[in-house]
Amino acid sequence: MRKVPLSLDELLALKNGKKENNNGVSKGVSKPEIRYLTKRGREKLEERNRKTVEKKNELERKLRDQKLTDVQRVRAEKRKYDNEMNNTHGTVFNRDTTHNESRKLTATVDNNYNKGIEYRDNDNVDDSEDYFKPIVEPSNKRAEIFDVSRNKSRTKDNKYDKQHWWEKPLEKMTNRDWRIMREDFDIKLKGPNIPNPLRTWKESGLSNTILSRINALRYKEPTPIQRATIPAGVKFRNAIGIAETGSGKTLAYILPILNYLTKVPPLGPYEGPYALVLVPARELANQVDEEFQKFYGSIRFTAASLIGGHRYEENTDAFKNGVEVVIATPGRLIDCINKGIVNLDKCFFLVLDEADRMIDLGFEEQLTTILNQLPPGETNPYYFGGIKKPQRTTMMFTATMPNEIRKIATSYIEDPVTATIGQIGQAIDSVKQIAIKVPDDDDSRLEKLKEILSEEKKYRSQIIIFVKYKKSCEIVGNTLSDMGFRVAIMHGSKSQRQREEAINDLKSGRANILVATDVAGRGIDIPNISLVVNYQMSKGIEEYTHRIGRTGRAGRKGTAITFWNEDSDREVLYDLRRMIGKSHVSYCPKDLAENRYAMWQNGEQH
């Protein structure tokens, strides 16, 4: 009888009625041959067969578990390394490289697993423990893979790996650091060759003279919109900044303009401007002019505002010694161009401030006229940008991006860097929004207003109260004056001088309440406004956004209270509810949240 145990293939051959000779050639075996085995022989044969099957199953299980364990170990090590890098704010972890290496290792495990199956079925398999040893290569291979990944992703100087982005030198900043910085300030950038955001004023590329003045004015840190757009403006790149009111947009273009002026020669009498700033309202023009004046003496330049309400002779006198910067409303600028007061031949730096508001006020055609009168960028004799072909530098700032603005941007702004701060059309979280339902009559509204203003400890001055109509402006103003408040009134029927006096009274403290129509919704930058009251809700959510943007500015907190009524405000209640709901510091009251006009547009469920 045969002393050597039958191999697996021989057992299978016996079962199938086949047998191999010594040369490996199978030959037929009659099943009756098995019958010649003794009873004990049959039992041994069955026992050997059973053990062989069990050994096969055990080997398959071990190989399968080894494969799974190995892949899981690789992934666990990768996750652990990712977490370490995230916790230390270190350098960029090369996820793609590690992922590819992991896939290669997994493929190696698959290949070895298949080889193990073949090895298992070999007739020469030894029954010793080596037969069950893992087929996968030792973990040193995996360690080498991760060492390579770490070496590629980390900087040479490991002492910077655990530092936050603001602690590192500029040259040690990595792509991952810049990404974290953008996320910290809710900055979204897109466009070709995007410059990195501004970390500190010292790294801005501005001249030392400007930096000294910034320090004197105690501008400690740039705001998010300034961080995102100033690097583009300093490098004479076109830029579009999308951010809400009160975000510091004015300084975001003033500083690049001033930096440009330090590089160009002075102008002669009645020459200029080098830079043009277009704004939608007179009040905003005056505000921008005041911001430029803060840098007088540090830099040699002259700024002039061209707005309605002033005689043309005053505009002509402003150009007597040359004007480097002109701040103008579109209509007045076109009049001055037609009268020969202004010549734009040297203007190669253009700013469109609050461009969406200019469109709302119907200035689209006038904007197009002005843009077409500007000299071609190729003729710019003082171009200091990195692009070989000279061009005009255009910076546009807006709170929203309607189709008309996109059309202008596409037609007149070449390859801009677009910076979006937060969510478009969303009020900033420094303003707490409160909505109060009131009857639609002046007596009820005035009573509620008196109740609010009587809480002296809760709301300090100064306060702005917005109304829809001139008549309401006078009614509210007279009522508050009778209560002992120092009130300034501002609406469209007031002259330009009266409107400027009203704003100055509020700034200086001679008045502690300003009652105004939407004419004051833009262009007023008074940092101490603690409360805005919408005595009558605005007609649209855009006006509402700009109204409440008068408070909560420059890092301060503010409150906006809105009186609403279903009969008079139903067209805007849906947007009002959504606007309040987007704010993290505001709460939408139940009566507004459950109002059918607030729940669905036009009060109808779609």
Please classify residue 330 by burial: count the beta carbons closer than 10 Å to its beta carbon, then call 0-12 exposed, 13-18 middle and 19+ buried.
Answer: buried
Q: Identify the architecture of domain 431-603 in CATH.
A: 3-Layer(aba) Sandwich (3.40)
Per-residue pLDDT tens digits for 143-185: 444 455 445 544 455 666 777 888 888 888 889 899 989 988 8
DSSP sequence for 4-37:
SPPPHHHHHHHHTTEEE-TTS-EEE--THHHHTS
Rounded CA separation 411/497 (Å): 37
- Residue pair 280/329 in contact (Cβ under 8 Å)? The answer is yes
Two tokens at 378?
């190729």
How many Cα atoms sit within 13 Å of 361 on the Cβ side? Answer: 20
Domain 185-421 and domain 431-603 have a common topology: yes
Give the 3-state secondary structure of residue 132. helix
What does the DSSP 8-state code read for residue 117? H
The residue among 198, 298, 180 whose CA lies nearest residue 239 is: 198
Question: Residue 524 belongs to what H/E stretch?
Answer: none
Going by pLDDT thresholds of 50, 70 and 90, the confidence category of residue 590 is: very high
Q: Identify the architecture of domain 185-421 in CATH.
A: 3-Layer(aba) Sandwich (3.40)
Looking up tokens 């008079």 gives 568
Mean pLDDT of 109-120: 47
What does the DSSP 8-state code read for residue 388? S
Mean pLDDT of 553-577: 89
- CA torsion, points 59, 60, 63, 64, in degrees to nearest 10? -150
DSSP sequence for 254-306:
HHHHHHHHTTSPPP-TT---SEEEE-SSHHHHHHHHHHHHTTBTTB---EEEE
Per-residue pLDDT tens digits for 392-447: 999 999 988 888 899 999 999 999 999 998 776 555 678 899 999 999 899 999 99
Please calculate the CA angle 262-523-283 and round it to the nearest 5 degrees: 85
- Residue pair 473/515 in contact (Cβ under 8 Å)? The answer is yes
The percentage of the chain sitting over the pLDDT mark of 70, rounded to a whole number, equals 73
The residue among 229, 284, 205 whose CA lies nearest residue 503 is: 284
HEC readout, 42-93: HHHHHHHHHHHHHHHHHHHHHHHHHHHHHHHHHHHHHHHHHHHHHHHCCCCC
Rounded CA separation 519/490 (Å): 8
Number of neighbours of residue 96 by Cβ within 10 angstroms? 8
- Residue pair 505/571 in contact (Cβ under 8 Å)? The answer is no
User: Is the whole-model pTM more than 0.75?
Assistant: no
The residue among 529, 536, 489 whose CA lies nearest residue 507 is: 529
Per-residue pLDDT tens digits for 288-344: 999 999 999 888 899 999 998 888 888 889 898 899 999 999 999 999 999 999 999
Two tokens at 280?
């939608």
Q: pLDDT at position 124, please?
A: 44
Give the length of the chain.
Answer: 606
Going by pLDDT thresholds of 50, 70 and 90, the confidence category of residue 389 is: confident
Q: pLDDT at position 508, please?
A: 86
- Residue pair 305/285 in contact (Cβ under 8 Å)? The answer is yes
Q: pLDDT at position 424, please?
A: 67
- Residue pair 121/6 in contact (Cβ under 8 Å)? The answer is no
How many Cα atoms sit within 13 Å of 326 on the Cβ side? Answer: 32
Domain boundaries, the chain: 8-36, 40-153, 185-421, 431-603
- Residue pair 524/503 in contact (Cβ under 8 Å)? The answer is yes
Q: pLDDT at position 86, please?
A: 57
DSSP sequence for 207-255:
-HHHHHHHHHTT--S--HHHHHHHHHHHTT--EEEE--TTS-HHHHHHH
Looking up tokens 């009820």 gives 444
Per-residue pLDDT tens digits for 36-73: 556 677 777 788 888 888 888 887 777 776 666 666 66
Rounded CA separation 142/69 (Å): 13
Residues near 177 by Cβ (< 8 Å), separated by ≥ 6? 89, 91, 165, 168
Partnered with residue 466 across adjacent β-strands are 516, 534
